[in-house]
Amino acid sequence: MAVSVQELKDKFKELFGGDGEIHAYFAPGRVNLIGEHTDYNGGHVFPCALTIGTYGVIRPRTDRKLRFYSINFSSLGIIETSLDDLVPDEAADWTNYPKGVMWTFEKRGYHLPAGADILIYGDIPAGSGLSSSASLEVLTGLMLRDTFGFDISMVDLALIGQYSENNFNGMNCGIMDQFASAMGKKDCAIFLDTSTLEYEYAPIKLPDAKIVITNSKVKHSLVSSAYNDRRRECETALEDLQKVVDIKTLGDLTEEQFEQYKDAIQDPVCRKRAKHAVYENQRTIRAVQALKANDIETFGKLMNETHVSLRDDFEVSCAETDLLAELAWKVPGVLGSRITGGGFGGCTVSIVKNESVDLFIRSLDKPYKEKTGHKAEFYVVDVGDGAHALD
């Protein structure tokens, strides 16, 4: 964190005045270790919360006005609106995310009695695919819950964040990102069945290895439209399969069942998408079993298989993230490496033996810059807690 909570509160007072009850909160970003594009297909995911994320300072108002300020987007100044104007608006820029959460609160019967002044600061790198939007949604929900005294569970705050992103912001994401931000636990990943929301915490025991995130510094503009396309393609495949087998989601199928029934999927592209969803779900289940057995090597191999599937069957990788993964696979001491997040750029996640971390960074840094013209960024990350109050 580049600034302290006190500095955030001081900035808040400078912008909005120092009267009234002022409180600070934090919601983390996430990295998904395995289980990609399974969360909207009724499969399993295995994310963990990070110690980077989004910070917020809030004070309730006595009128219906909303005033937002982001330190990250300081050139936009204070953005003003009101509870009577909770509609998506391009000019509202980043505030469409907190506005969407407020809109969802209202839709669900949690009527906001007054507006608020809100200051935001995030230390998740922009465009990295580490869920800055979900972090901001969960943060907003938690601030509203505490400020106005609503009785809402953390799981429900995650669902509110997902609903707002789907229906207010038009991004058809699954539940994973918001769930990880709301429900994260230090030094644990969350093994989540997205079809039932049953979950368990699995300790991340990497006695002689680290999680390293590599930011490609590339974000292709395809991401939201192509993400929604992938979701539609999976839904089409599911509809075809449901004519021949009794399933509710693609996550209900084993690999063997998929091979048995796959010819029912008319479109070959949709067949590839469904193959990824089914195989990735089973990979995730096996990976968590391996982790529980302290078999980190198997876990890493399954991560590599995930990258190949995302590249070839789901087609959400890109030249830059493929290069980062391929370079990583050649480094001694790298147990596994793959693209993480929605795709089309963003980050890779790797498990690297402690003695190989410096070699890993050197081995990727120079050739990546030479081949792409982009300078990658490397983060050796810690696994942190979910969203919480800071005071």
| Same-domain pairing of 223 and 181 | no
Q: Which of 336, 332, 363 is nearest to 351 (CA)?
A: 336
| Same-domain pairing of 240 and 142 | no
Q: d(Cα 98, Cα 68) in Å, to the nearest integer?
A: 9
Q: d(Cα 143, Cα 192) in Å, to the nearest integer?
A: 25
| Same-domain pairing of 262 and 335 | yes
| Same-domain pairing of 231 and 300 | yes
pLDDT tens for each residue of 150-176: 999 999 999 999 999 999 998 888 899
| Same-domain pairing of 10 and 139 | yes
Query: With 80 as the cut, is the pLDDT of residue 220 above it?
Result: no
pLDDT tens for each residue of 189-203: 999 999 999 999 999
Q: Which listed residue (39, 117, 177, 252) is catalytic?
A: 177
| Same-domain pairing of 358 and 230 | yes
The whole-chain average pLDDT of the chain stands at 95
| Same-domain pairing of 103 and 242 | no
| Same-domain pairing of 345 and 323 | yes
| Same-domain pairing of 180 and 219 | no
| Same-domain pairing of 122 and 250 | no
pLDDT on residue 207: 82
CATH of the domain at 365: 3.30.70.890
pLDDT on residue 18: 92
| Same-domain pairing of 229 and 367 | yes
For range 262-271, the mean pLDDT: 98
pLDDT on residue 223: 55
Q: What is the dihedral of CA 135, 141, 142, 146, to 10 degrees?
A: 160
Percent of the chain residues topping a pLDDT of 70 = 98
pLDDT on residue 127: 72
| Same-domain pairing of 122 and 196 | yes
Q: What is the dihedral of CA 170, 171, 175, 181, to 10 degrees?
A: -100
Instruction: Tell me the residue range of the domain where 155 lies.
Output: 5-203+385-389
Catalytic status, residue 177: yes
Query: With 80 as the cut, is the pLDDT of residue 224 above it?
Result: no
Tell me how many domains the chain contains.
2
Query: With 90 as the cut, is the pLDDT of residue 3 above it?
Result: no
CATH of the domain at 169: 3.30.230.10
